[in-house]
């Protein structure tokens, strides 16, 4: 299991819009798409599509306005080398409008350099 307690470096952020975020730089393209609008106490599936030559080392979610620890995103096996899905669960909280942050750590298979991307999103009562 990956160590999700190490300090973050080279983080790039995106605000979730239409259940998706897209990142791009000179070596990597990353798409993060939530299959449904995030809701607390419901299973959440997240699809990741990324450039070949990279692997997802780990992914986790943290609460921003109320720290609730780190919730891992459990990666599902995939027959494709450049995409995978992850499943997680958002815990219940006392804040009516909860701010969350998804972290995705990718590693370049050639250089072993890692970079962490983060996706900001909210949940609120229906």
| Alpha carbon distances (Å) from 2 to 51, 58, 104 | 21, 6, 12
Note whether 81 and 52 are within 8 A (CB).
Answer: yes
pLDDT tens, position by position, 30-70: 999 999 999 888 999 999 999 999 999 999 999 988 888 89
Q: Does residue 125 or residue 112 have the better pLDDT? A: 112
Q: At the topology level of CATH, where does 11-123 sit?
A: Immunoglobulin-like (2.60.40)
Q: What does the domain layout of the chain look like in residue ranges?
A: 11-123
Contact between residue 105 and residue 2 where contact means Cβ atoms under 8 Å apart = yes
Answer whether 88's CB lies under 8 Å from 61's CB: yes
Residues in contact with 124: Cβ distance below 8 Å, sequence separation at least 6, in sequence order: 96, 97, 98
């Amino acid at each position: 299991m990956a160590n999700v307690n190490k300090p973050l470096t080279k983080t790039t952020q995106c605000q979730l819009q239409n259940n998706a975020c897209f990142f791009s730089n000179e070596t990597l393209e990353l798409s993060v798409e939530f299959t449904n609008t995030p809701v607390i106490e419901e299973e959440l599936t997240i699809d990741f599509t990324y450039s070949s030559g990279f692997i997802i080392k780990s992914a986790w979610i943290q609460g921003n306005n109320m720290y609730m620890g780190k919730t891992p995103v459990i990666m599902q096996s995939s027959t494709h080398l450049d995409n995978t899905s992850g499943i997680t669960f958002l815990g219940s909280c006392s804040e009516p409008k909860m701010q969350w942050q998804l972290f995705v750590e990718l590693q370049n298979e050639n250089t072993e350099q890692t970079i962490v991307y983060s996706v900001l999103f909210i949940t609120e009562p229906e």
